[in-house]
Amino acid sequence: MPSPQLKICGMLHPENIREVAALQPDYLGFIFFKGSKRYAGTVLPETLDALPENIKKTGVFVNETLEMVLSLVHKYNLNALQLHGAESPEFCQELKLKLNTSGAQKVQLIKSFGVDEDFDFSQLNAYVGRVDYFLFDTQTPDHGGSGRQFDWQLLSKYTLETPYFLSGGIGLESAEMLNGIVDPRLFAIDVNSKFEIEPGLKDLSKLKEFKSKLT
Question: What residues are annotated to the active site?
Answer: 9, 137
Between the alpha carbon of residue 215 and those of residues 8, 69, 143, the distances in Å are: 17, 35, 29
C-alpha dist (Å) from residue 148 to 114, 131, 178, 203: 11, 26, 15, 18
Beta-strand relationship, 133-138 and 108-115: parallel
Left, alpha or beta for 144 (phi > 0: left; psi -120 to 50: alpha)? left
Q: 31 - beta bridge partners?
A: 39, 60
Rounded Cα distance between 120 and 6, Å, is: 26
DSSP 81: E
Q: How far apart are CA 119 and CA 24, in angstroms?
A: 34
Determine the Cα–Cα distance for residues 60 and 212; give it in Å rounded to an integer.
Answer: 26
- Name, in order, each residue with C-beta under 8 angstroms of 139's C-beta and a sequence gap of 6 or more: 114, 115, 116, 119, 150
Cβ contact 70:78 at 8 Å:
no
